[in-house]
Chain A
Amino acid sequence: MMRAFDYVSPSTKVEAIHLLETRWGKTEVLAGGTDLVALMKDDVVAPMRLVNIKDIKELKGIVSGREGLGIGALNTLDELADNEELRRNYPALADALVDVASTQIRNVATLGGNLCQRPRCWYFRKGFGLLPKDEAGKDLVSEGENRYHAILGNDGPAKFVSPSTIASALIAYGAKIRIEGSNGHREVPLNEFYRIPKTDIEREYDLRANEIVTEIVIPSAQDVKAAHYEVRQKEAFDWPLAVAAVALKMNGSRVLSARIVMGHVAPVPWRSAEAEQLLAGSIISEETARRAGEAGVKNATPPFAQCL
């Protein structure tokens, strides 16, 4: 059961931005609602005003140009998975899209909402905060049930893992995210959009409370070979345990450069410099792939001991 709130449905970006407060907590953007509504029911977020953006036509549509594909934030995951051009030119992204959740969720979940969904950390979802502490201020995750928590980038207070499986594929392709706010708009490489919060008042991404995500732009990937791989315990209706997205620029069988993104291992989608360096200049074989994999987790610091 959620608390009462005001509901507004603007039809332009500008109106929407006006309706948002400058500080987090009072207002929230509502897209497909598959995440936000659950957060409200669990009383993890309790906005006083919901700004529904689904009536904003400017946020829909897909445009393709020379610089790549521009995807409006309101496209549903299902619409994207059905898009011919996307399937042809960005097969790793298409793979990631069809694996998300379930048909029902993909039908309503939007790309913008997917990239801004909140972490699935069970302490966070139970109301212990994004950097979970008990009443005495004790860090709950380190000594608690952390089997699904970060093994990389976990030296600060943030121990959750970044939840979007689409983000890893997009980052491998070098996507950028466009954001609009009262000071106009800006464009950020998607991997810089995510950041590891150090205090309770920060979010896990670079967005102000009165900004909205408008579009995702993926550069042309003609010369790129890419793949997306997920480990899932359950076949459907679930998040993966770990994700890897790889995009390679090749010269014959030799790798010119690599972008390797690991998902569900760190508070942000984790680009592995170690693995990327290892692959650059080498020929792909089972052996190099295995070594790249090992390099990717070489510096991992799992918080958990072996369990029984």
Chain B
Amino acid sequence: MPDYAWPDTEHRTLIGKRIPRVDSPAKVSGQAKYTYDVRRPGMLYGKVLRCPYAHAKIISVDTSAAQKIPGVKAIHIVQQPGSTIFWAGDDVVAIAAVDEPTAEDAARVVKIEYQKLPHFVSDAEPPPNVAEPAVGPLSQIDIWDLELPEEQIAAEVRRRGVSFRATQAVLAQLRRFRMPEVIVDAIARAPYRPLTDETSGSLYQRVATETKGDPDKALVEAEVVSEGLYGCSVITHCCLESHGSIMEWPERNQLFSYMSTQGVSAIGAQLADPLNVPAANIRVHQDHIGGGFGSKFAVDRWHVAAAHLSRKAGGQPVRIMLERDAELEVAGARPSAYARVRVAAKRDGTITTWESRSWGTGGPGGGGMVPLPYIFDVPNQRKEHIAVRNNIGPGRAWRAPSHPQAAVITMGALNDLAAKLDMDPLDLWMKNLDIAGQRKETFREELGIAAELMEWKQKWQPRGQNKFGSLARGLGLSIHLWGGRGHASDCDLTIHPDGSVDIKMGTQDLGTGTRTVISVVAAETLGIPISAINLQIGDSQFPSSGVSGGSSSVGAVSASTRRAAIDARDVLFSKVGLVLNVPPDQLECVNGTVRVKNNPNNSLSWKQACSKLGVMPITVRGRNPNTVKPPDLTGSGVGGVQMAEVEVDIETGVVKVKKMVAVQDCGLIIDLKTAESQCLGALIMGISYALFEEKIMDLTSGRMLNANMQFYRLAGLADIPELVVHFMTGKGYDERGVIGLGEPPVISPGAAISTAVANAIGVSVPFLPLTPNRVLDALARKPGA
């Protein structure tokens, strides 16, 4: 049995080095084509007519005038009269025409009559005693967000039903995402209850209450108690490449789609049902994607609409890419989470009790709760969560779902506790690492390294002490945890007799470096340069590979590529062994040669070696997971620590981040450069959501007011300070296998920055983003202000 294990340090030539992305020349030169860039011959332009009301019933739809406009090729009613609309901007009618202006002209003359219904777009704190037990049907994201034991989640699913159709494809997808079987089984049997005004129940739904230990007793005995309010507003995904696709029917029963998606292999099965065509007849292709962040897993209404339009137009390609306002209004929102927290400790800093009353919204279904307290498993707890059901648009998974919000609330509360204890929070965190779960030793090591990189002990001062004129400086920190095990992935690797190598895999590169890590693993294993690997991904015709979510891609594609490359190499060894007259297991691939171990002179060049294959190429398939080809090449469970230094102008309330440090483990690192980039990108996105991002809803009209790039502020280059990234590598880390990194580093920035602001100005600013008005309000409420 060949040894699939990752090479040890001495035998690595590429793995773990800083290797530039293989697709960067294409990206910086503009050659890389995103779905948005694709122009198909004869392509029609689709426009979606969207409901201007946040809550309404469609009474009638009249498209007759639109039909008469020359150049209009197809009209599809997405939601029929009688349907209820639960958020402004939802799709009602789709139109395909020869160009965009014609489609827009046609959209303007469609007559839709609505019955306006009362809307509710607030996620402010629920009034006391209004919450009722949750009865509304659960969406997929609701189920993922239920922070309950498996059995209880299954019971909730059975009791409340599901708002989506649990087709085989959906169930398979949930399994791929490692949803426990009891829950999948419950979903399969649960009643299908589409979300309607009748099924949805109260606006305020008590999702969960949980007690552990004896919080009342612990509170009475506590020596120090700290109370506070913490949370994060709803933000949007704001993908720079908006959602959308181009759909065409080359044959009556064959669909071809370019789609901006996080899962090329998983789309066919989801499209099959609504289009009534076998999944086998659906091909999905994507070369590059301009951001997904968790919002591009599923097939959306506009994708199905584009396929219907194309079918009606005789198969001509139809393009629907969302406009910027629609992208921000309907294509992705990170649920909000807020909490009133009481946390208690002994004088020496030992945390004894956690009490939280949390609430938040994930849109029309209300949403689930965030895992509180985050990481620290406090012995005595009481928690209650109320889901606010409103009309702001549906929540979607956003990078490390629920974790950033949980970190902001938990770290904020512990930071206030540290201030009450007159303790440096770094010491409080260290003191309580015993209840920080599996990765506590990693945290201990990382906190030490981060503190050095930040010069924490030299810089840190008690709250509100570090002032110069109107400028106040402060330090903050946060820790985070993530899984990141590689998903199921198949990889086909072919060695041709002329020495060329190609790889095909139905995965996708979200811009994280997936292409690069596949190439590095193959090149390392075969002893040839990265440039010799001809890699093709992004097509559902290639061997299927999982959806890029949950930070599961790097572990998956690295493992399947490694197994494929080892097996292909061994076929080659068996041929070359005959020529060099040694048993195949005496051979190795190094530096573009196939040679005899311990006798490097007895060798063939890679090209010569491959010519021994005869005329036929060899193709092998590598898989992950694969228990018959051990060892396990991926792993799970990473910990990270981040620290932030900020400067706050206490006259204007403007916060500037001055420095951030991220220390992260993620098992064996394939490419240090793309790993570091991933952390840098996460810090930048983190600064953006900590200071700027917020989905701002108008209570009266029910519309999002900042659905464009002038009002939906994102951090710009000039807002980004010195960023320091350090990876945990070597013994204790490398042997854990390849583990995902897409999400973990984006969990802590908000918490690190908001605790730093509290340290600077002497009081916590309750909610993110930390805008000037919120900072000034917190200062005005500060005791003694």
Contact = CB atoms under 8 A, between A and B. Distances in A.
Does A associate with B in a complex?
A: yes
Interface of A: 1, 3-4, 38, 42, 120, 122-123, 125-126, 128, 134, 138, 140, 143-145, 147, 231-238, 241, 304, 306-308
B771 A233 contact: yes
Contacts of B701: 128, 134, 140, 144
B766 A234 contact: no
Given A3-B104, A123-B705, A231-B654, 16 more contacts: A1-B101, A3-B101, A38-B710, A122-B705, A122-B711, A128-B701, A134-B701, A144-B698, A145-B696, A147-B773, A233-B713, A234-B719, A236-B716, A306-B780, A306-B781, A308-B767
A306 B775 CA distance: 11
B692 interface: yes
Contact of B713 (A123, A143, A234): A234
A29 B780 CA distance: 46
24 contacts: A1-B100, A1-B101, A1-B323, A120-B710, A122-B705, A125-B710, A126-B703, A140-B701, A143-B699, A143-B700, A144-B698, A144-B699, A144-B701, A231-B654, A233-B713, A233-B772, A234-B692, A234-B719, A238-B713, A304-B773, A306-B780, A307-B777, A308-B766, A308-B767
Interface in B763-783: 766-767, 771-774, 777, 780-781
A3 to B, nearest CB: 7
B777 A122 contact: no
B229 interface: yes
Given A1-B100, A1-B101, A241 B652 contact: yes
Contacts of B652: 231, 241
Contacts of A144: 698-701, 705
Contact of B777 (A4, A231, A235, A306): A306
B708 interface: yes
B716 A235 contact: yes
A42 B696 contact: no
Given A42-B708, A122-B711, A145-B705, A134 B777 contact: no
A235 B713 CA distance: 11
Chain A interface, >50% SS class: loop
A63 B700 CA distance: 51
Contacts of B323: 1
Contacts of A122: 696, 705-706, 711
Nearest to B696: A145
Contacts of A308: 229, 766-767, 774, 777
Given A1-B323, A145-B698, A241-B772, A125 B708 contact: yes
Contacts of A232: 654
B718 interface: yes
A10 B2 CA distance: 78
Nearest to B711: A122
Contacts of B229: 308
A123 B706 CA distance: 9
A237 B700 contact: no
Interface string B630-654: 0000000000000000000000101
Nearest to A4: B101
Contacts of B719: 234-235
Nearest to B102: A4
Interface string B685-712: 0000001100011111101011110110
Please provide the 3 A-B residue pairs with the shortest distance between their CB atoms, ordered closest to farther. Answer: A235-B718, A122-B705, A231-B652
Contacts of A234: 692, 713, 715-716, 718-719
Nearest to B698: A144
A234 B771 CA distance: 10
Nearest to B47: A1
A250 B173 CA distance: 75
A179 B158 CA distance: 72
A113 B262 CA distance: 43
Nearest to A139: B700
A103 to B, nearest CB: 11
A93 B698 CA distance: 36
Nearest to B107: A1
B716 A126 contact: no
A42 B710 CA distance: 12
Contacts of A38: 710
B692 A233 contact: yes
Contacts of A231: 652, 654, 772
Interface in B698-756: 698-701, 703, 705-708, 710-711, 713, 715-719
A291 to B, nearest CB: 15
A117 B545 CA distance: 51
A38 B710 CA distance: 10
A144 B696 CA distance: 10
Interface centre among B104, B705, B713, B715 (most CB of A within 10 A): B705
A308 B777 CA distance: 7
Given A145-B705, A235-B718, A140 B700 contact: yes
A104 to B, nearest CB: 12
Contacts of A238: 713
B460 to A, nearest CB: 26
Contacts of A307: 773-774, 777
Contacts of B711: 122, 125
Contacts of B708: 42, 125
Contacts of B777: 306-308
| Max chain A Cβ within 10 angstroms of own Cβ: one of B229, B715, B717, B773 | B773
A142 to B, nearest CB: 10
Contacts of B692: 233-234
Nearest to A138: B700
Nearest to B103: A1
A250 B701 CA distance: 51
A54 B652 CA distance: 39
A187 to B, nearest CB: 33
A233 B771 CA distance: 8
Given A126-B705, A138-B700, A143-B700, A233 B101 contact: no
A246 B271 CA distance: 63
Nearest to A241: B772
Contacts of B716: 234-237
Nearest to B655: A233
Interface string B95-111: 00000110011000000
Contacts of B706: 122
Contacts of A125: 708, 710-711
A24 B741 CA distance: 55
A189 B700 CA distance: 39
A308 B105 CA distance: 43
A134 B703 CA distance: 11
Contacts of A237: 716
Given A120-B710, A233-B654, A1 B104 contact: yes
A4 B105 CA distance: 10
Interface in B383-412: none
A227 B707 CA distance: 35
A42 B719 CA distance: 28
B48 to A, nearest CB: 12
B96 to A, nearest CB: 15
Given A234-B692, A241-B772, A307-B774, A134 B700 contact: yes
A231 B772 CA distance: 10
